[in-house]
Chains A and B, each alone.
Chain A
Amino acid sequence: MSSGLVFDIRKYSVHDGPGIRTAVFLKGCPLRCLWCHNPEGLSPRSEILRRDERCVGCGRCAAACPLGGAALGLGGPDPRKDAGGALCAACPSFGACAEACPAEALQLVGRRMDVEEAMAAIREDLPFYDESGGGATFSGGEPLAQGDFVLGLLRACRAEGIHTALDTSGYAPRELVLEAGLMADLVLFDLKLIDDERHRAATGVPSGPILENLRALAEAGARIALRVPLIPGINDSAGDLEAAARFAASLPGTPRVHVLPYHAAAKGKYALRGLPYAMGDAVPPATEAAQAARGIFERAGLAATIGG
């Protein structure tokens, strides 16, 4: 059975599709969007996140460290200082230190799971899906970066009658986009920026393949909701939004559009990881700006909402 790297499973996820949902976040993403609000989902490898302010110095992590250095006084790594560093990369039981840390100062981000393990977590909230019309959402990272795993999950959900949503950037091989997108009950497809060059500058990848995938998926009859992040200075000009609206309106099936205003909630996550936050002090768009953006999509003949 295929397995994948999962960095979070969130119950009662309320903004990722209809009803009460469980969101499974798959780790690893080929894009590098400047505003990414899940930086822990970028790398395709497990990581140890360190929150030094929580450490109480109990030394349980060092005792659990298989390289054993600090605990044995041999000069090996001390997870309290070295977790996440180069020495740990080759650790035979990566994450044992985080597992042992009672203060949650060390946290393992990214666990390998097989489809059945993830399904067990998804199944826990079955009664809620039944009652609210919810289900499972596969998000990331980029779920399609772990194609076999996400297909396995979609297939298993379908077999058990669990509604699925696939939350994707669309940057993946065409066949995979089509296979997964058609297997999902709903595709939450990001539509960031039409202009190829500027898309590349903002996300690290060209927009062309994404837009072609989107069109192919729409033409194949997938149920799609477009998610348009509204990012100050990146894609919030009237010109960019109108271009996006024109493209969206040209798709068969006139997908619903969700305008998702930029928020700075992820800033703290970058600080924790010692990463620079490319958005700096960008200010979230005012309500009027979000409403104006929605208006642009509505004028193009699309049903549009803010959020969700």
Chain B
Amino acid sequence: MSEQKTRILNERVKRLREASFSQRPSFSAERAVLTTEFYEEWLGRVSTPVLRAMNFRNLCERKAIYIGSGELIVGERGPRPKAVSSFPELTCHSLDDLAILDSRPMASYKVEAEDVAAYRDKVIPYWRGRSMRDRSFAEIPEDWKALYEAGLFTEFMEQRAPGHTSLDGSIYRKGMAARRAEIAASRAAIDWGADPEALAKDEELKAMDIACEGAIIFARRHSRLATEMAAAERDPKRAAELARIAAVCERVPAEAPRDFWEALQTYWFVHLGTITELNGWDAMNPGHLDQHLGPFYQADLAAGKLDREGAKELLSCFWIKVNNTPAPPKVGVTAAESGTYNDFTNINLGGLKADGSDGSNEVSYIALEVLDELQLLQPQANLQVGARTPDRLLKAAAEVARRGSGYPSFFNADEVVMAQVGMGKSLADAREGGTSGCIETGCFGKEAYLLHGYLNSPKVLELVLNDGIDPASGRRIGIRTGDPSSFASFEQLYAAYERQLAYVVGAKLRVSNFLDRMFAEYAPAPFLSAVVADCIERGKDYYDGGARYNTDYIQCCGLGTTTDSLSAIRTHVYERRDIGWEELLTALAADWKGSEGLRLLCANKTPRFGNDDDAADGIAQRVFESWIRAIEGRPSPRGGAYHVDILSTTCHVYFGLRTGASPDGRHATLPISDGASPAQGADRKGPTAVVKSLAKIDVSRTGGSLLNQRFLPQALEGEEGVGKLCGLVRTYFKLGGHHIQFNVVDTETLREAQKKPEDYRSLLVRVAGYSDYFVDLDRNHQEEIISRTALEGF
């Protein structure tokens, strides 16, 4: 064993971490009440963008602000740490929802009686029938609802705003005051004589200006509070810190930051602004944080203002602030498919600079230490590994990863660049891009890349096997593709899968486009727009095509399960002919009851994805091509196009619950395969075979893919273990792989944690594109993680 790094936290960080870790998330009606009161007074008096901006500024002026004991980086979204705002203008929780949030066993939020009363008396009466969700659902067609309820797909925008946004370096170079000047210039340049969109642009720009002002007001309120607290503080050391906080918040984000502390506080205010304005998916992401902070760190060090430990302390304080903002509470299907407190802020480390040189610096290493030592749910971090990334950095990251928390994950920086260039972005912009959320590729600070929902590919195949009928309900929700036993060849079956897929995708995209426009029209985001490139120049909102690049993703799920199911049918029904259609369909309908031999034949005597076996991997390539054909390039309303993502987050568990037995031997209700990973237990030949199978998929044509690998701790022991893990990552990326992440934990430990959750409170495991506390996962997710093939060292 190499020596274990001891967890060295200084006293302040230890205290803040403990407070954040043990604080139970709560629900706060504050934002909902302020927003309701504001809408009651202002709706109809100003344009929609201005209304949204004024509501934001009103929140900045009036919401309770908080500076905690010992904090250096300040600001909360709610009135206190881990108090989560709600967004009734998008989704208005019912009283039942609030009761469920308070009492559900997993990912619950404490809801106080006064919040319930506020909802009952004020929020619900106003928003019922007015919220985006209520208005949208009233318009949504029946065919979509039937597919949605059957579990063919989910819809990201039904209760959260489009998000997955990351920032580039511009917020560190340009303060809000400078932005307001740019906005004014853009307004002055509007050609009222010729531009038919002149009014819309002017209103949008007015809105951005108000929003920037709101952010400055919010920061300066913290400055005043810190000054007051400093005056009352007995401890001179803390009083000095508070005075410093006051100075920092007076300056940023109005002006550009001048040092490491101001830079972190700048980001944090912008982050809070965007997640107060709306509840976009994946909160907000700082992008290449190490690259942005590196120059400030170097300058402070040279000036003697800061040492390495001081920088680490500030970064830790920032890290804890992110952990203080759990995901906004979801309900219904969205809660089922994403039941986590994690709001997916994902920090990029390493990678490339715009000029193509290695992006890593000392802050990259400090961030890895912070990640390792804090062991918090949020934020996540990933390492962007390019050919130019130093081995030393990869090794430092692998050291952290093998300790088991699933952080950091690893992305192929060169591939991330290539995928973006392939979608038409400039090389320099692509290099400044990276990964946000779970695995989503995007051009930081310059792109609106929106995820629209997960697609359940194994369920599409289930519809094919039942001629368009969902066996769960007996209703015909798909198109008729024919009785499978009439298919003379595997090719006929495959053609039916493609036709059913096209139908389902078509139904989904029509509603995705509709919702996209609903957000553009009724919930623009002027603050977010002010910090994303080209919205100011174009006078257009982020949700309305204002960003330099606009991309839309459909996240396709169940590559492994679809491939193995098709492979089983091809192998046994058409090639070996040792299973008849009727026999197979009967067994599937009965969830294999009484057909265990048949089930095992399908599961164990079929070429399966993940074993570097071309017979199976060839089918996976075909399925991938079909997804591409169904989705790639279909126009989206913001002037962009739809693309494929291969990602399931936790949705493979939800989709599994909705999908009957599948021909790969999977029982009904068990999870389908996750991300781009092989089906659980299908990979028998170790990690090299898995990554070779995956590498046959041309993921540079997607917005990302996700590969989970679970190792037993012994497999990665010692200096050699780390070296070999690095070798695995490097090779996978050389072969064109996009992403890989590791769980390093043995089954006994996980079983023990199920038995004695209280002893394993801080056991972080990789779930999907993020980690979660194992004991906070529901039983289905726990079992799914245990069922992933654990790789031993041989």
Contact = CB atoms under 8 A, between A and B. Distances in A.
Interface of A: 10-16, 18-20, 23, 56-60, 102-104, 124-125, 127-128, 130-134, 307-308
Interface of B: 596-598, 600-601, 603-605, 612, 685-689, 692, 715, 717-718, 720-721, 723-724, 726-728, 730-731, 734-735, 791, 793-794
B597 A103 contact: yes
Report, nearest first, the 3 A-B pairs whose CB atoms are least far apart: A58-B597, A132-B727, A102-B600
A134 B727 contact: yes
A112 B721 CA distance: 32
Which residue, of A14, A15, A56, has the highest number of chain B Cβ atoms within 10 A? Answer: A14
A20 B600 contact: no
A266 to B, nearest CB: 13
Nearest to B793: A14
B721 A14 contact: yes
Contact of B686 (A11, A60, A308): A11
A81 B605 CA distance: 22
Given A58-B597, A102-B601, A125-B688, A14 B720 contact: yes
Nearest to A56: B596
Contacts of A13: 793-794
Given A102-B601, A103-B604, A11 B727 contact: no
A130 B688 CA distance: 13
A23 B686 CA distance: 12
A14 B731 CA distance: 15
Nearest to B601: A102
B55 to A, nearest CB: 54
B605 A124 contact: no
Nearest to A17: B720
B131 to A, nearest CB: 52
A187 to B, nearest CB: 18
Contacts of B728: 12, 20, 128, 132
Contacts of B731: 20, 127-128, 130-132
Contact of B794 (A10, A57, A58, A60): A10
Contacts of A57: 597
A122 B41 CA distance: 73
Contact of A11 (B597, B603, B605, B688): B688
B727 A128 contact: yes
Contacts of B727: 19-20, 128, 131-134
A13 B724 CA distance: 10
B43 to A, nearest CB: 61
Nearest to A22: B688
A102 B720 contact: no
23 contacts: A11-B688, A12-B686, A14-B721, A14-B793, A14-B794, A16-B794, A23-B794, A56-B597, A57-B597, A58-B598, A60-B597, A102-B601, A102-B603, A103-B597, A103-B604, A104-B600, A125-B688, A125-B692, A131-B727, A131-B734, A134-B724, A134-B727, A308-B718
B720 A128 contact: no
A124 B689 contact: yes
A23 B792 CA distance: 14
Given A14-B794, A103-B604, A131-B731, 16 more contacts: A11-B687, A12-B686, A12-B794, A13-B793, A14-B715, A14-B720, A14-B724, A20-B727, A102-B600, A102-B601, A102-B604, A127-B735, A128-B727, A130-B731, A132-B723, A134-B727
Contacts of A103: 596-597, 600, 604
Given A19-B727, A56-B597, A102-B605, A11 B689 contact: yes
B222 to A, nearest CB: 49
Contacts of B721: 14
A15 B688 contact: no
Contacts of A58: 596-598, 600
Which residue, of B604, B685, B718, B731, has the highest number of chain A Cβ atoms within 10 A? Answer: B731
A11 B683 CA distance: 12
A133 B726 CA distance: 12
Contacts of B687: 11-12
Contacts of B735: 127
A7 to B, nearest CB: 13
A132 B597 contact: no
A59 B726 CA distance: 46
A308 B688 contact: no
A133 B731 CA distance: 11
B693 to A, nearest CB: 11
A10 B600 contact: no
Nearest to A133: B727
B590 to A, nearest CB: 16
Given A56-B596, A104-B604, A308-B718, A132 B724 contact: yes
A15 B794 contact: yes
Nearest to A10: B794
Contacts of A130: 731
B390 to A, nearest CB: 15
A15 B603 CA distance: 30
B688 A307 contact: no
Contacts of A56: 596-597, 600
A124 B730 contact: no
Nearest to A60: B597
Nearest to B691: A128
Given A131-B731, A134-B727, A307-B718, A12 B791 contact: yes
A135 to B, nearest CB: 12
B595 to A, nearest CB: 9
A132 B728 CA distance: 8
A125 B597 CA distance: 34
Contacts of B718: 307-308
Contacts of B692: 124-125
A54 to B, nearest CB: 9
A11 B600 CA distance: 25
Given A15-B794, A60-B597, A127-B734, A307 B685 contact: no
B264 to A, nearest CB: 36
A193 B579 CA distance: 56
A15 B685 CA distance: 16
Nearest to A25: B794
B717 to A, nearest CB: 7
A23 B727 CA distance: 17
Nearest to A128: B731
Nearest to A103: B600
A58 B598 CA distance: 8
A124 B791 CA distance: 18
Which residue, of A16, A20, A23, A104, has the highest number of chain B Cβ atoms within 10 A? Answer: A20
Nearest to B692: A124
A124 B692 CA distance: 9
A10 B604 contact: no
Contacts of B717: 307
A102 B685 CA distance: 18
A36 B524 CA distance: 70
Contacts of A134: 724, 727
Contacts of A60: 597, 601
Contacts of A10: 686, 794
Contact of A128 (B601, B603, B688, B793): B688
A43 to B, nearest CB: 21
A236 B731 CA distance: 40
A288 to B, nearest CB: 14
A229 to B, nearest CB: 17
Which residue, of A13, A19, A127, A134, has the highest number of chain B Cβ atoms within 10 A? Answer: A127
B275 to A, nearest CB: 40
Contacts of A16: 794
B730 A131 contact: yes
A66 to B, nearest CB: 17
Which residue, of B604, B720, B728, has the highest number of chain A Cβ atoms within 10 A? Answer: B720
Contacts of B689: 11, 124
A284 B686 CA distance: 27
A11 B685 contact: yes
Contacts of B605: 102
Given A131-B727, A134-B727, A124 B794 contact: no
Contact of A124 (B612, B720, B734): B612
